């Protein structure tokens, strides 16, 4: 009986895919929903706490497959939970390319690299430095990747108008969260990176290639230490500024994105 059941499931799955175009198939594979469900504004967090902070603030919240869709002050917003790393970021971007999404905002955690950086600092990435293995698959010459200047400048101005303290600079994207060696950290700092993460270079490069407006803004959760594999510091300042950033980004999207 189980074999017969599986044959029936397989038959109807193939039948359904037969009538789907490529866009729908990709969205179904990645998001487990139709591409039409994705709104023009998409927020892509990794950390569960940040996902929950966003979803709790949306009205008319609906879970569609692997994503959440709701409203903030009448603005349609989609939350796409993303797993860690540039490969996952590239998969998400490939799938979002098949939708009507226009604005893609990464809000998450990062490591601090500059000497004046503290846990809880907010970092706006004006560019990404490629240190991962995924981004070169799309552009072998990619090294320093800028993002959409219009979105960057509008957000920069909004943060200053709201008196939100933040640091702006390059973020270095790497692959191995538990292999942030002294050599790697020195390399990143020598390239003038003020922070380090695992997604932004892929997001910025594919945003440019796919015509999406992408921004990465993160809260410093740790100051990488080559002698410690795990250096997360869940301080009250980290939590306070994470909540502040979530609220600020939603206000920004509702006020500044037409």
Radius of gyration of the chain from its Cα atoms, rounded to whole angstroms: 19
Domains observed in the chain: 22-256 (3.40.50.1580)
How far apart CA 175 and CA 85 sit, in angstroms, is 6
Q: Read off the pTM.
A: 0.90
Mean pLDDT, rounded, of the chain: 91
Q: What is the pLDDT of residues 213-230, one digit of tens each?
A: 999 999 999 887 766 666
Neighbours of 55 (CB within 10 A): 18
pLDDT at 9: 41
Compute the residue count for the chain.
258
pLDDT at 232: 65
Give the residue among 120, 141, 150, 140 at the shortest CA–CA distance from 214: 150
Q: What is the pLDDT of residues 25-63, one digit of tens each?
A: 888 889 999 999 999 999 999 999 999 999 999 999 999
Using alpha carbons, list the distances in angstroms from residue 22 to 31, 97, 146. 14, 12, 29
User: Element (H or E) spanning 194, and its range?
Assistant: strand 193-197
- Between β-strands 103-112 and 213-222, what pairing exists: parallel, antiparallel or unpaired? parallel
């Amino acid at each position: 009986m189980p074999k017969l059941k599986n044959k029936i499931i397989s038959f109807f799955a193939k039948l359904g895919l037969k009538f789907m175009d490529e866009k729908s198939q990709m969205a179904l594979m990645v998001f487990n929903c139709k591409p039409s469900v994705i709104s023009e504004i998409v927020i892509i967090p990794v950390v569960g706490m940040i996902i929950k902070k966003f979803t709790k603030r949306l009205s008319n919240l609906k879970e569609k497959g692997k994503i959440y869709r709701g409203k903030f002050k009448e603005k349609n917003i989609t939350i796409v939970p993303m797993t860690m790393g540039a490969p996952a970021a590239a998969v998400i971007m490939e799938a979002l390319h098949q939708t009507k999404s226009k604005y893609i905002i990464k809000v998450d955690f990062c490591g601090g690299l500059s000497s004046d950086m503290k846990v809880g600092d907010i970092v706006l990435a004006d560019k990404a430095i490629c240190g991962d293995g995924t981004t070169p698959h799309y552009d072998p010459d990619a090294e320093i990747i800028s993002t959409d200047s219009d979105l960057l400048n509008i957000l920069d101005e909004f943060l200053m108008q709201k008196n939100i303290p933040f640091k702006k600079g390059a973020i270095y994207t790497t692959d191995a969260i538990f292999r942030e060696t002294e050599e790697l950290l020195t390399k990143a700092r020598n390239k003038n990176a003020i922070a380090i993460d695992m997604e932004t270079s892929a997001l910025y490069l594919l945003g440019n290639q796919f015509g999406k407006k992408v921004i990465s803004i993160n809260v410093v959760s740790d100051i990488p230490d080559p002698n410690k594999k795990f250096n997360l510091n869940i301080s009250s300042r980290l939590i306070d500024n994470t909540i502040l950033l979530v609220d600020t980004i939603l206000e920004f999207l509702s006020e500044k994105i037409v």
